Structure 1
């Protein structure tokens, strides 16, 4: 298969691209690198898809947003996760429909916290919205296309980079296997939560 991986320079995206590349032709896209895309810019998404052409699958592993306290003074700062993570992925799906071959798939990334923490309310809103979109939009996809999401939870390498205890994190390579299973499988309209190992 010919597979476009967006966010391929990040911790999860790189692991997903590497795992898929053992059996498939992978195009690696990111904010930086030879194939560039900005998930917050619909024109950038259009340019990427025009450059890449037809594919059998698209995987979005690009992270965006973070903790956003309710009292963040600027609306633009608070809503950044909606623009990038939620609207960016929805816009990507709408545009990718014309570029994914019959029977192909689009896999998005949602997320979760083990429990609510201060600043996580917007993250919960974005991820719940994204998962609801996947569930409901999947029935509208033409030509046997599939739409799913992966909810990776905490990644061990990310916890280490943040100076946190990595014990509750899942290694990126294990997270990547979930994405690969979704791309190579036949699921439709589902969210796959990665459990810590």
Structure 2
């Protein structure tokens, strides 16, 4: 399969590339190894698809949100989660439909914070929950047999020392384990799923 991995150089993205290395991978991101893309810009997403052409799957492991308490969360700070984690991922689907082959797939990323809240995580949880709802609803009307799923990881071992103060009491998992669920989404047959890797 010919697969775009957006966020390929990140902690999870690099493990996704290892899990899917037997396919023809196109590694994308802000500093993409094969093609650059800014997922907050619809024009940049369009340019990426136009450059790459037809693919069998699009996998996204990119997208961020600001960590701030609700009392400090301004509309401006909240906008990062909306533009990057929420709209950025949805736009990869909306603008990519014509570039994904019949029977292909999209795999997006949510996260544990929407189900197991943490302090300063409201903005990220909002974006994650929006992506999950979009995937579930979009799955019933995706054209040409195209599937769509999301993967919801807990904090990964590789990032735990840096973010442990936010994830007190959480059990981190290896990014390589998370990556197997992206492979399940790409190579499997399910659609409308949110694969939760919380333990």
The TM-score normalised by the length of structure 1 is 0.92
C-alpha distance in structure 2 between counterparts of 1:161 and 1:27, whole Å: 29
| Cross-structure match for 1:60 | 60
- Which shifted more, 68-77 or 149-158? 68-77
Contact 1:110 1:131 (8 Å CA) reproduced: yes
| Cross-structure match for 1:32 | 31
C-alpha distance in structure 1 between counterparts of 2:110 and 2:163, whole Å: 20
| Cross-structure match for 2:2 | 2
| Cross-structure match for 1:134 | 135
* Alpha carbons of structure 1 residues 83 and 166: separation in structure 2 relative to 1, 3 Å: same
| Cross-structure match for 1:90 | 90
Classify the secondary structure of the residue corresponding to 1:65: coil
Classify the secondary structure of the residue corresponding to 1:79: helix
Give deviations 1:138-159, integer Å, cap 9, x for gaps: 1121100001000011111011
| Cross-structure match for 2:172 | 169
- Which shifted more, 153-162 or 71-80? 71-80
The TM-score normalised by the length of structure 2 is 0.91
| Cross-structure match for 2:79 | 79
| Cross-structure match for 2:123 | 122
> Superposition RMSD on alpha carbons, in Å?
1.8
What is the aligned length?
Answer: 195
Give deviations 1:7-44, integer Å, cap 9, x for gaps: 001000010012101x2011000111341111100000
Contact 1:72 1:78 (8 Å CA) reproduced: no
Show the 5 A alignment for 1:15-54. 15-21=15-21, 23-34=22-33, 35-54=35-54
C-alpha distance in structure 2 between counterparts of 1:13 and 1:129, whole Å: 21
* Alpha carbons of structure 1 residues 73 and 141: separation in structure 2 relative to 1, 3 Å: closer
Structure 2: runs of 5+ lacking an equivalent: none
C-alpha distance in structure 1 between counterparts of 2:79 and 2:32, whole Å: 27
C-alpha distance in structure 1 between counterparts of 2:177 and 2:190, whole Å: 19
